[in-house]
């Protein structure tokens, strides 16, 4: 961040756009001196990021005990191909969140958080599916991380070569990259499936 300050962004809109574009984060925390970085899903509502998982999860257990956490979200938007090796880069958008997560214990708040989590990944899904039973809710840990100490960093645009290198006979530019949804594959064990829901047609983020 210090080396390339022009890429540092802190405005809420940029942070929320980056968080809402994705649903996979990496959760960094340390337990007895051993750092872990674990990939997991998330959902956002307002100034809260929700994480969820099995009540047996070591990650969620550690975080619910108040271990400080660092969550990162990254989108790779392209390969930036310069004329020199030195100026090659990547177009990206990323967010880093620091803080301490809160265990969501109230069943009503937990259910609400799971709805937010599900809707964040696939909008429209929650209304279609069977909701968690009391027992399933107990077996699920939900954590809320406040979006208070947050930074965003964005790199976009073409390569920035040294003046003398522009004359070199080397292809330079950007190879844009994105994650795309392919055709939905129906479950082979389906018995009573309705037609493909609207929210699965042309899914994109
Ligand atoms: C895209 C994605 C989304 C996921 N979403 C969720 C989610 O929403 N909720 C959830 O609970 N889990 C999710 N997982 C699984 C998650 O990464 C952990 O494996 C899981 O939460 C168990 O964590 P734990 O701390 O209990 O690991 P443990 O069972 O304690 O793991 C033991 C050891 O195995 C290794 N390990 C753990 N997880 C991984 C991994 N993913 N890859 C490689 N090594 C690993 C680590 O060294 C760890 O210390 C997701 C994984 C991926 C890749």
The whole-angstrom separation of Cα 152 and Cα 1 is 10
The whole-angstrom separation of Cα 115 and Cα 191 is 25
Residue with tokens 């001196």: 33
Q: Which of 85, 71, 64 is nearest to 151 (CA)?
A: 71
Neighbours of 75 (CB within 10 A): 19
pTM score of the predicted model: 0.92
Question: For ligand 1, what atom is nearest to the CA of residue 117?
Answer: 8
Are 75 and 100 in contact, with CB atoms under 8 Å apart?
A: no
Residues 133-152 pLDDT 10s: 999 999 999 999 999 999 99
Ligand 1 center to 73 CA (angstroms)? 16
The whole-angstrom separation of Cα 70 and Cα 99 is 7
Question: For ligand 1, what atom is nearest to the CA of residue 42?
Answer: 8
Which pLDDT score, from 0 to 100, does residue 139 have?
Answer: 94
pLDDT for residue 2 is more than 50: no
Q: Tokens for 26, please give them.
A: 């990496």
Over residues 163-187, the mean pLDDT reads: 96
Alpha carbon 144 to chain centroid distance? Answer: 15
Which pLDDT score, from 0 to 100, does residue 7 have?
Answer: 65
Pocket test for ligand 1, best of 28, 33, 40 (most atoms within 8 A of CB): 40
**Which residues line ligand 1 at a C-beta cut-off of 6 Å?**
24, 36, 38-41, 52-54, 57-59
CA separation (Å) from 98 to 72, 129, 157, 172?
9, 33, 28, 37
Ligand 1 center to 88 CA (angstroms)? 32
């Amino acid at each position: 961040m210090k080396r390339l300050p022009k890429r540092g962004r802190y405005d809420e809109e940029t942070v929320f756009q980056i968080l809402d574009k994705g649903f996979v984060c990496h959760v960094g925390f340390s337990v007895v001196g051993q750092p872990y970085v674990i990939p997991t899903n998330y959902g956002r509502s307002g100034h809260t990021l929700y994480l969820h998982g099995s009540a047996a999860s070591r990650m969620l257990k550690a975080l619910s005990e108040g271990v400080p956490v660092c969550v990162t979200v990254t989108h790779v938007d392209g390969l930036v191909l310069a004329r020199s090796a030195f100026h090659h880069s990547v177009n990206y958008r990323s967010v880093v969140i620091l803080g301490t997560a809160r265990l969501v214990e109230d069943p009503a708040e937990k259910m609400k958080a799971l709805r937010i989590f599900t809707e964040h990944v696939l909008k429209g899904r929650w209304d279609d599916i069977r909701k968690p039973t009391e027992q399933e809710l107990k077996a699920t840990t939900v954590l809320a991380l406040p979006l208070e100490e947050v930074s965003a960093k964005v790199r976009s645009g073409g390569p920035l070569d040294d003046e003398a290198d522009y004359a070199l006979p080397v292809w330079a530019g950007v190879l844009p990259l994105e994650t795309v949804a392919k055709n939905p594959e129906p479950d082979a064990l389906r018995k009573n499936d309705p037609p493909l829901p609207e929210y699965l047609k042309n899914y994109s983020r």
